[in-house]
Amino acid sequence: MQFKSILLLAASATLAVAKYDVGNCGSSNQDGVNLGVGDSETQTACEKAGGEYCSAVYNRCVIETTKWDAFEKECEDQKAYKDKSDIEDKDQAKRDGLCVSGVSEW
């Protein structure tokens, strides 16, 4: 019985260590500004790398830190700009990346 408890505890700890990065294709924060047209390169790169694309204020990819390199490679001819890094909570990463659609949600 103790072994099962230890195993469950270890599995829980493993799930809790996921960290997230927030960024976009381009060389700066301003390359991610959403001017109402979206950013197909960031969106495509994000989806291919397994992240979550958002475009409320900026065109951003919220992605697990371990997948950042894959996102960076998918940005093809552009650099990948990392705005935030090693955020321990995905919802916090979305807030930090301004992925919420309105100020009233904060």
User: Residue 72 CA to chain centroid, in angstroms?
Assistant: 12
The per-residue pLDDT string of the chain (106 residues; one tens digit each, 9 = 90 and over) reads: 565 555 455 555 555 589 999 999 987 766 666 655 556 889 999 999 999 998 877 789 999 999 999 999 999 878 898 988 899 999 999 988 888 754 444 3
Place of tokens 């991610």: 32
Question: Per the structure, how many domains does the chain have?
Answer: 1
Helix (H) or strand (E) holding 24: strand 20-25
Instruction: Look at residue 101 in the predicted model and tell me its pLDDT.
Output: 56
Where in the sequence is the domain holding 32, given as residue range(s)?
A: 19-105
> Is residue 5 in some structural domain?
no
> Is residue 13 in some structural domain?
no
> Is residue 67 in some structural domain?
yes
Burial of 78 (0-12, 13-18, 19+ CB in 10 A): middle
